[in-house]
Amino acid sequence: MISVLILTKNEEQDLPGCLASVKWCDDIHVYDSYSDDKTVEIATNANAKITQRKFDNWSAHQNWGLKNIKFKYSWVLYIDADERVSAGLCNSLKLLNLQESSHAAYEIRRRDFAWNGVWLKHAQISPFYLRLFRPEKMHYERLVNPVSLPDGSIGRVDGYLDHYPFSKGFKFWFKRHLNYADMEAMMRIDEIGAEKEFSIKKALFSKDFSEKRYHQKGLFYKLPGRPLIKWFYMMFIRGAFIDGTAGITYATMQSIYEYFIVLKTKEILSESMKNKQTDIFIGSVTDKELIETYSKI
């Protein structure tokens, strides 16, 4: 059997549909960041177990949950409130013999849907996510868009996890990604200060999807003109245009998000140069290095 973990913060709109898609589970945990709407009430009425913790950043929050929440079963399916377990995925999970599995985690393919119901099949950058795992063998890194790091081998489950990122509208999407950009910018600055090394070999050829994505992100952040590169990659390498207007619009929005990160990083560095507060770096950074860093972004 499988336990279900749902992360929430003011999810009264999306949570009912999410809970309905996992009603086959008798151990549902809603991990809430002190919602001030009806989220907890909805979860309680669905007989879900509630755990609350103040959100700090994604990896710390997720790691704390896996370490401290008492799951009934040894395997956990992690989903967000704006996601739904499809009928096909549900059937695959029921047929999966987890008791004899030697894996630490399983990849599940996610389908992102646009505001008009179109599946962003080509525009979607990352289709596979490690969402079914043994909690003691899973660890997360990065403040936002965390990387899943399983301690062991990985399998794959058939079926789709359906995702509706625009369920609350465009304004909410941009507001959320502005917050993401703040955390991405801080991580970028930390990586510069720590002089972290990223491997082209692992970015291109690693069989571990999470490791591959981690190194791809690290190398990508070093490139000039990232917003345009991202738009070109999504449009013509992944083929976002095949998804029609929805795909083209989504590729443009993702490029704007990338530009948010660039602007926020420059803003932080600019303030640091004005105030000469270089201690935001992990390493020791001189004024000269600060100026050189700023010019590279």
Same domain, 157 and 175: no
What is the band of 276 on the pLDDT scale with cuts at 50, 70, 90? Answer: low
The residues facing 3 across adjacent strands are: 76
Q: Encoding tokens for residue 31?
A: 């991990």
73 shares a domain with 11: yes
- Report whether pLDDT(86) > 80: yes
- The tens digit of pLDDT for each residue in 245-264 reads 999 999 999 999 999 999 99
Distance CA 256, CA 252 (A): 6
Q: Are residues 96 and 153 in the same domain?
A: yes
CATH number of the domain bearing residue 133 = 3.90.550.10
Token code pair at residue 118: 């179109």
Q: What is the pTM of this model?
A: 0.86
Q: Which pLDDT score is estimated for 242? A: 98
At 3, the amino acid letter reads S
Q: Are 159 and 174 contained in the same domain?
A: no
Do 36 and 152 belong to one domain?
yes
Contacts with 97 (C-beta within 8 Å, 6 or more apart), sequence order: none
Q: Are residues 148 and 131 in the same domain?
A: yes
**180 C-beta neighbours (distance < 10 Å), count:** 18
Looking at the structure, tell me whether residues 158 and 175 fall in a common domain.
no
Pair (129, 189) in one structural domain: no
Q: List the domain range (segments joined by +) for residue 263.
A: 170-296
- The H or E element spanning position 291 is helix 287-296
Q: Are residues 205 and 248 in the same domain?
A: yes
Domain count, the chain: 2
Strand partners for 77: 4, 132
The string over 250-269, giving b where at least 16 C-beta atoms fall within 10 Å of a residue's C-beta and e elsewhere, is: bbbbbbebbbbbbebbeebb
